[in-house]
Amino acid sequence: MSRKGSKFAGVSVAITTPFRDGQVDVETLRQQIDFQIDAGVQCIVPVGTTGESPTLSHVEHEQVISETVQHVAGRCLVMAGTGSNSTAEAIRLTSWAAKEGADAGLLVAPYYNKPTQEGFYQHYKAIAEQCDLPLCVYNIPGRTAKNIEPETIARMAELDNIVMVKEATGQMDQASQILLETDLTVLSGDDSMTLPLMSVGGEGVISVVANIVPGDLLKLVNAVNRDDWATAQQMHRKLFMLCRDLLSLATNPIPIKTAMKILGRDNGHLRLPMTPLTEAQTSRLQMTLLKYGLVDLVA
């Protein structure tokens, strides 16, 4: 079955937001974008969770979207993080992304205020009706405190420009139900779940670990797409420990920003309330990178 968001199949990278002296470091942002495009990823995702969007001002959020779209310049797709727990703010950010030329909006489920299922539906419906942009529903109850149930997502799928789900519930039954009952493209929101999700019909991943090893994520996804399950399983096993440590040592994006610094791609500081890894955590992360095979890049 052809799915609504198949244009965004493959590897999308949730890029970090680099900071210098308290400001967005635009030059480093551009370098990150070039690194990903040179690797061959299908889509760049700025100002998501990995991009520390909760700590960006409205002006900075718009700036990162604009700079990303302009620097990508059509070389790959751009799916801008435009979600909020305020429907009005999500509409404003999504409208901005559309105006600037983004290819899609990534809309995290409203967090903290814990809407009812009807509230979730009406939130996304209002955005879909007011913003002419393909939309991806980002369901991550571990951060938002409430799951968007598959029945609610099925209702959303009837809206023309809701085309994708970033599935980060960790529940394969939920993903399978969405794939069964809708024509939405389902993308993994957990790097380690990419292969399991694609095995039941998912079409790729919105990745954190691809900030440092985009080529390996591409090898996994491309292997699935050509039915080379042996290679896909090999890449899954290779990536698993790296994915685990990057998302378990501390809250994302603390470990990935630290890993990038270790590997000579310093993104600058984290913004409070994000704080650096401890020395023990940093040592463990460096050992993970060494075991992965990034020895030649570690100082």
Q: Which of 121, 124, 138, 292 is catalytic?
A: 138
Does the annotation count 261 as an active-site position? Answer: no
Q: Which of 121, 124, 166, 257 is catalytic?
A: 166
> What CA–CA distance (Å, rounded) separates 29 from 45?
12
Total Cβ atoms within 10 A of residue 40: 13
Burial 159-180 (b: 16+ CB within 10 A, else e): eebbbbbbbbbeeeebbbbbbe
Does the annotation count 166 as an active-site position? Answer: yes
Contacts of 282 (CB under 8 A, 6+ apart): 258, 262, 276
Active-site residue numbers?
138, 166
